[in-house]
Structure 1
Amino acid sequence: MSYLSTLSATTRDALIAVFVFAVGMLLYLAGLDTITDAPKPALPVRMLLLVVMCLATFLRRRLPVPMLLFGIGPLAIDFALGPSVPIWLLFSDLIYAAVLYARGNLPRLVATSCATLAAAAILATLLVTGDWRSTVLAAALAVAFVATPIWWATTVYSHKAIADAERIRAQAMSLVAELDLRAAVTEERKTMARDLHDVIAGHLSAIAIQSEATLGVLARRSTDTPMAGVIGSIRAESVNALQEMRTMIGLLSSDDGPTDDLTAPPRLAQLPLLVDAARAAGITVRVHTTIDDAALPSAVDQAAYRIVQEALTNAMKHAPGQPIDIDMHTEATALAIAVHNPAGLVGNLAAPPTGTQRGLVTMRERATALGGTISAGPDAGGWRVVARLPLTAAQVG
């Protein structure tokens, strides 16, 4: 990009006017300004005409046709005094500007009028002088100072029109591509929703129905057994999972995208429900919290719930029947979470993530997305998951 292209149109026009004045003065001082052998007028007169034409050049972009008409006066005076190159060049520039910058039908009118006047001047030269050499000179001047700027302005205008058309076409293609992408995403979401409904939601419904039936059988037998608590927990968890699955299916099936009512994720306010479900399965869960749920940023609140949920699930899976301690408290700049249970874990969650350790990977992703940290590993004869989530993480993501 050139330096001139970074300037405003007014600044460029001013620089052009100053440059043309300087070149014109050099031609006048060097004696290279005349077109014919007529006597040269005084230099101040030439300078005055040059200043007037430079002023018209400065305004030619904003007032193309008026400045062209205005330039006829200095041109006529210059022609009467003896045609000079700077004035005629500036007038040809006014013709160029009028054809290029005028609006509506004015460019065609200007081009037609200038071509007609030039042809009339050539014919008048032939009729008045009767000299073919003078006629050829008049024709050459008409081509140089009239036809050339009209041709050049028409070419530039055509190129600009083509560039504008291509720009509009590119924008239209970009819009079409974006609409195609949205349609493809919407179709993929609907396909995912159908798969979730047909496969996973069906299995969850079967689990909920069968566990409810088992609870009914146990109730009729009036048996007080820990198995009833376990099955009740299975029933509650399957129902909760089914509700979340239906919410997800509704989200994927929606054409309008997510809404607050449709996608509101669980938060720490719902932690007692999670703990009650674990206790119903016969697990001793001790919770120690010194936090204000309402004061937590939304992103931290949601991530903390999911981390505790995943840690509880892992503890119940790898150390069944063992007590679990959950400790959460707010520090100066972070929410600290610790989930501990005694020895009995199978496997090593601190090992490099694999396909069977997706839970830990998910916890780490949630923590790091908020700029926090998380660790999981053996600690004091048991297993401990420790996470720190910055309280400023509301702006992350």
Structure 2
Amino acid sequence: MTGWLERHTDLLHAGGFFAVGVLLYLAAPDVAIRWSDVPAPPLWAVAALLVVAALGQTQRRARPVLGLVVACGVLVAMILLGVVPLALMLVLGDLLYCAVLHTSERLSWTVAGATAAVAGGAALVSLVAEGARAALLVALNLGLVLAVPVLWGREVRLHRERADAERGRAEQAARMAELDRAAAVAAERARMARDLHDVIAGQLSGIAIQSEAALNLPDPDPAVLRRVLQSVRRDSVASLAEMRTMIGLLRAGGAADADPRTAPAGLDRLDALLESAAGTGLRIEVEDARGEAAELPAAVDLAAFRIVQESLTNAAKHAPRSRVRLRLDVHDGELVIDIENDLVPGAPSGDGTGTGLLGLRERADAVGGTITAGPDGDRWRVRAALPVRAPAGAAR
């Protein structure tokens, strides 16, 4: 659509130049360059050459160099006839402007250089043949007719290139901003998925394991069954509370702001976590050698709790009814968490996707700590070292 409109505009442009040129030649025939010793050419010859020049001007944007060559040919023919009307000089100036503006950078400079060479050569010939006064007149006239369109075209081209460069930079900045936004959204989704896994999956896994154990008891002892059901209820209520808190945090404004929210989990809730894990059949031995250590930063406290929670969940899932040893210590400015459990031959491998271990590493990395997890002889061992002083910027 744009190309058709440009061609249509160029046709109208060429027709307008031809009509104006003919009218100027008829109304003011003296407004032209003439040679006194050459008789005036017939009107039809001038009109025919103006038609050819107008045809060249139809290519002013599509093939400006071709149009310029056609106009130069008409100029030579007009010189041979002994008259160069003003309309032809206007056509030549317009085609020079378009040849500088609408071509490649190299071709644009070539046209500008050729124009300067023609003007300089004509002035030099006039200087040798007719003297300094004639050379000055030729230089001024050609400078007006040829140099102005070329310089104007170069200036417009420069402004367009700068505008295109600025537009390109703006588009690139917009793309970078969009990529940053997408990366932020992806990171937030990953964080939400990790939190959902850490907060809910462990408790729901415990509920599933305890429920299965209760269903498989051949002759359940009412006291044991009641203890299992109490543990299931406790984990269910805790899961609902955690989920409600997370949903409240994700909602912006509204009535959710007025709802009470639970504090982030920490090692102060370790006893409840161990009791829940013991309800799944794990035999847990705890050694807490932290002593009277200073209070942990909130991010480190949360990371430590989630690491213990995920480790116990994995033990209950992959090594049911195994023995688990948990040791907590503060050494050289780090909270050291060491959890190991016996590997149970033939135990189910589970259908997990590795999200739990990945979440553990992300938790440790977020507070500047380290974590290792893997088999160690006949045991599975998780060891985390978290700095007691969380690095600046560490957050949940």
Which position in structure 1 is the counterpart of 2:113?
A: 112
**Aligned 1:1-397 pairs, distance under 5 A:** 8-31=5-28, 34-36=31-33, 38=35, 40-80=40-80, 81-103=82-104, 105-130=106-131, 132=133, 134-215=134-215, 219-221=219-221
Partner amino acid, structure 2, of 1:135: A
Deviation at 1:69, TM superposition (A): 2.3
2-structure distance, mates of 1:37, 1:55? 24
SS in 1 for 2:61: coil
Partner amino acid, structure 2, of 1:46: V
- Deviation per CA, 1:273-326: give whole Å up to 9, x if none: xxxxxxxxxxxxxxxxxxxxxxxxxxxxxxxxxxxxxxxxxxxxxxxxxxxxxx
Deviation at 1:194, TM superposition (A): 1.8
* Cα separation, partners in 2 of 1:51 and 1:33, compared to 1, 3 Å: farther
Deviation at 1:217, TM superposition (A): 5.6
Deviation at 1:111, TM superposition (A): 1.1
SS in 2 for 1:89: helix
Partner amino acid, structure 1, of 2:83: G
1-structure distance, mates of 2:54, 2:149? 17
Deviation at 1:59, TM superposition (A): 1.9
Which position in structure 2 is the counterpart of 1:361?
A: none
Partner amino acid, structure 2, of 1:122: A
Deviation at 1:216, TM superposition (A): 5.1
Contact 1:34 1:82 in 2 (8 A): no
**Any gaps of 5 or more consecutive residues in structure 1?**
246-397
**TM-score, length basis structure 2:** 0.51
Partner amino acid, structure 2, of 1:20: F
2-structure distance, mates of 1:71, 1:60? 11
1-structure distance, mates of 2:111, 2:3? 30
SS in 1 for 2:129: helix
Contact 1:68 1:95 in 2 (8 A): yes
1-structure distance, mates of 2:154, 2:196? 63
Contact 2:10 2:59 in 1 (8 A): yes
Contact 1:114 1:146 in 2 (8 A): yes
Which position in structure 1 is the counterpart of 2:281?
A: none
Partner amino acid, structure 2, of 1:163: A
Contact 1:60 1:94 in 2 (8 A): yes
Contact 1:99 1:153 in 2 (8 A): yes
SS in 1 for 2:220: helix
* Cα separation, partners in 2 of 1:20 and 1:33, compared to 1, 3 Å: farther
Aligned length: 232
The answer to which of 169-178 and 112-121 deviates more is 169-178
Percent identity over the alignment?
40
**Any gaps of 5 or more consecutive residues in structure 2?**
244-396
Deviation at 1:218, TM superposition (A): 7.7
Deviation at 1:147, TM superposition (A): 0.4
Partner amino acid, structure 1, of 2:108: P
- Deviation per CA, 1:365-397: give whole Å up to 9, x if none: xxxxxxxxxxxxxxxxxxxxxxxxxxxxxxxxx
* Cα separation, partners in 2 of 1:163 and 1:114, compared to 1, 3 Å: same
Contact 1:34 1:83 in 2 (8 A): no
* Cα separation, partners in 2 of 1:25 and 1:5, compared to 1, 3 Å: farther
SS in 2 for 1:47: helix
| Higher RCO structure, 1 or 2 (CA under 8 Å, sep 6+) | 2
Which position in structure 1 is the counterpart of 2:361?
A: none
2-structure distance, mates of 1:115, 1:189? 64
Deviation at 1:55, TM superposition (A): 0.5
SS in 2 for 1:83: strand
1-structure distance, mates of 2:106, 2:30? 35
SS in 2 for 1:219: coil
Deviation at 1:93, TM superposition (A): 1.8
2-structure distance, mates of 1:36, 1:75? 11
Deviation at 1:85, TM superposition (A): 0.7
- Deviation per CA, 1:48-75: give whole Å up to 9, x if none: 1110100010123232223322322210
